[in-house]
Amino acid sequence: MKKINVLASGLIALIASVVVNALLIAIFLPLTGVPANVMTFKVAGPTGFFTFLGVVGAVVVFTTLRRFSTRPNRLFVWIAASVLLVSFLPDIYVHNLGPMFAQITVGGAVLLMSMHVACAVITVSALTLLTKVPAAR
């Protein structure tokens, strides 16, 4: 398989993450009991925005690790896993975040966490498997 640069890997991760999140919403939102008009699950709104921020943040971290670490892929996987776990906290406590989130059920929170996992797996895979190995320092 031909390796590509970090930005191309990041773009692939972003597009794939948005598509997968949209599919997860389309398939599973009706099963959660959350009304379809809840803004949190709008791909063109918060979902797309936070997916974009997460992937861009991952590209920045991965690029930095590649520059300064002798084992960037391994370290990146650990950092990504840690950030993923932290990203679950708002989803777990979603009912305490105010009236905007009052309609999100337990199923809705699980869907949000599933979307985080999907984005993390796609992004980590794209960056660590598709990206060229940096030249020797």
According to the model, what pLDDT value does residue 110 have?
92
pLDDT of res. 100: 67
H or E element at residue 52: helix 48-68
Chain segment 51-97, per-residue pLDDT in tens:
999 999 999 999 999 999 999 999 999 999 999 999 999 888 876 67
Q: With 0.95 as the threshold, say if the pTM is over it.
A: no
Q: Could you read off the pLDDT of 6-59 as tens digits, one per residue?
A: 999 999 999 999 999 999 999 999 999 888 777 777 877 888 999 999 999 999
How much of the chain is helix, strand and coil, in % rounded to 5?
A: 80, 0, 20
Alpha carbons 83 and 61: distance in angstroms, whole number:
11
The three-point CA angle 79-84-90 to 5° equals 135
Four-residue CA torsion sign, 81, 52, 58, 96: negative
Distance CA 83, CA 120 (A): 9
